[in-house]
Copies of this chain bind each other. A is one copy, B any other.
Amino acid sequence: MKKKIGKQSIAFLKQPVVTSTANIVGPMEGEGYLTEHFDRIMKDNLDGNQSWEQCESSMMEWAISQAVKKSNKQMADIDYVLAGDLLNQLMGTHFALRGLERPFLGLYGACSTLVESLLLGAVLIDGEFGDTVAVAASSHHDASERQYRFPTELGVQRPPIAQWTVTGAGAAVLAASGNGPRITAATVGKINDLGIKDPNAMGAAMAPAAVDTLWQHIQDTKRQPAYYDMIFTGDLGNVGKTLVLELFKEKGLDIKSNYEDCGCMIYREEQDAHAGASGCASSAVVFSGYIYRQLLEQKWRRVLLIGTGSLHSTTSYQQKESIPCIAHAVALEM
Contact = CB atoms under 8 A, between A and B. Distances in A.
Interface of A: 1-4, 7-8, 10, 50-51, 53-54, 79-80, 84, 86-91, 94-95, 97-98, 100-110, 116, 119-120, 123-124, 126-131, 147, 188-191, 193, 311-316, 319, 321, 324, 326, 328
Contacts of A313: 87-89, 91
A109 B109 contact: no
Contacts of A319: 50-51, 53-54
B188 A80 contact: yes
Contact of A89 (B50, B88, B94, B101): B88
Chain copies in the assembled complex: 2
A109 B105 contact: yes
A189 B98 CA distance: 12
B311 A128 contact: no
Contacts of A104: 188-191, 326
Given A50-B319, A98-B193, 17 more contacts: A1-B128, A3-B127, A3-B128, A54-B319, A80-B188, A87-B313, A90-B311, A91-B316, A94-B311, A98-B324, A104-B190, A106-B108, A106-B109, A106-B326, A123-B123, A123-B127, A127-B128
A129 to B, nearest CB: 5
A54 B313 CA distance: 13
